[in-house]
Amino acid sequence: MKKVLQMWRNKNLWILITGVLGAELGLWMGLIGNLEFLQTHVASHALQALLLISGPVVALLIAPYAGSAVDRYDKKKILLVTGAVRIIGVGSMFLAMWSGSVSLMVVYSLCIACSAGFYIPAVRALIPRVTDKEHLMQANALYFNVLTTARIVGTVLAGTLLTILSLEMLYSCAIIGYSLLLLFTLFLRVQESTRQREPNQKKSRGTFREVLPVISGNSLVKLVMISQVIPMIFIGGFNLIVMEISVLQGDPTIKGYLYAIEGIALILIGFFGKRLAQGRNVTVLIGVICSVVGLSQLLLFFAHSHWITMLSFALFGMASGIYFPLINTIFQQNIPEEFHGRFFSFSNMLERVVMNCTILLIGVLFDWVGLELALAGIGVSALLLTALLTLRMKRYAGTDMKQTSAVT
């Protein structure tokens, strides 16, 4: 109990988590603000969509450089610089609102998206630096719970604030919040890695492609990365699935219930993730979790039923609440520290590509065979892929969660 309290009193961890919460809240609130601005100044829906994705696309393109920068430079300085870039971005948004310039709004989107491209890999690389090894999975669970909370609260809060405040006031709140986060980051204390290179280990040149042999040389990491496709398919099509279920059931209120059930299940199970994982075989645990995700997708064959639909989203939330902290811990402890920035940038790139491809795939499948058959097919595919990956990872069958370097 004393050790758990020690983690909750970790000021450095709380500075990082508070920064993530503020950055993600700002990201989602800014998205709603951008939509409001574009609806006023741009008539074409297609052009609105292109302008909205400009930031994420550029962030994807700079990810290799971002990962290399995180590994080569002081991570605290990267957090400070990205915080300053956010404030500059909000300043450009004020100019956009005063002048009606869509170009300046795009500058804001680029600043926010690019700062996130550097900020998130830096935070994920810093978590094991500021957290004891025995608390690492709990710290990762806290990190992913904050991401989920920010996603839910950010969109709801922005929509609510815009009914009582002007767009200028919304961004005034954002610039105040970003300034406070920048101030808090100054108090972050990070101990630089003292890890010595092995005699036969070559000195890293800091290039992005150096991380690829590291990944391919670690079978566990490689197969766990492949397993991410299973939950990412559901996450990528999440909004489309929720909207289609609402139409199928003829009940608009079901959307709010499904978002709430998934988010609450994810957050609650995250607090018990380490206890559920402790002492269990890594590969078996990942196989069970991915099977639950596949089952949750398969259950949506009965999407016309309110109760089965809610059960499906609850199962997915619980599985995600354990899965993402678990694999993040595996990555942090199996990838050398000097590659963390590049690795997490590469991982973010893959996640974005998979999620964007998933949106297109699910949209096509819904038009072709409908929601129930589409999700049933995806669920069966997920279960088959889980079985295949579990068989491939059988070399780790004797590895225990207490013994492996993957999770402690």
Its pTM stands at 0.79
CB count within 10 Å of CB 130 equals 18
**Under a CB-based contact definition with an 8 Å cutoff, are residues 273 and 325 in contact?**
yes
In the prediction, which pLDDT does 152 show?
Answer: 74
In the prediction, which pLDDT does 206 show?
Answer: 62
Half-sphere exposure of 335 (CA within 13 A, CB side): 30
Which domains are seen in the chain, by residue range?
A: 1-188 (1.20.1250.20), 208-408 (1.20.1250.20)
In the prediction, which pLDDT does 169 show?
Answer: 86
In the prediction, which pLDDT does 2 show?
Answer: 52
CB count within 10 Å of CB 360 equals 11
Q: What angle do CA 71, 76, 77 make, to 5 degrees?
A: 85
Give the model confidence (pLDDT) of 321-346 as tens digits: 889 988 888 898 888 888 888 898 88
Q: Which long-range contacts (CB under 8 A, 24 or more apart) does 297-300 make?
A: 297/233, 297/234, 297/375, 297/376, 297/378, 297/379, 297/382, 298/375, 298/376, 298/379, 298/380, 298/383, 299/379, 300/241, 300/245, 300/371, 300/372, 300/375, 300/376, 300/379
C-alpha 248/C-alpha 40 separation (Å) is 32
Nearest CA-CA partner of 218 in 10, 405, 29: 405
Q: Which segments of the chain have a pLDDT < 70?
A: 1-8, 45-46, 155, 191-206, 273-274, 278-279, 394-408
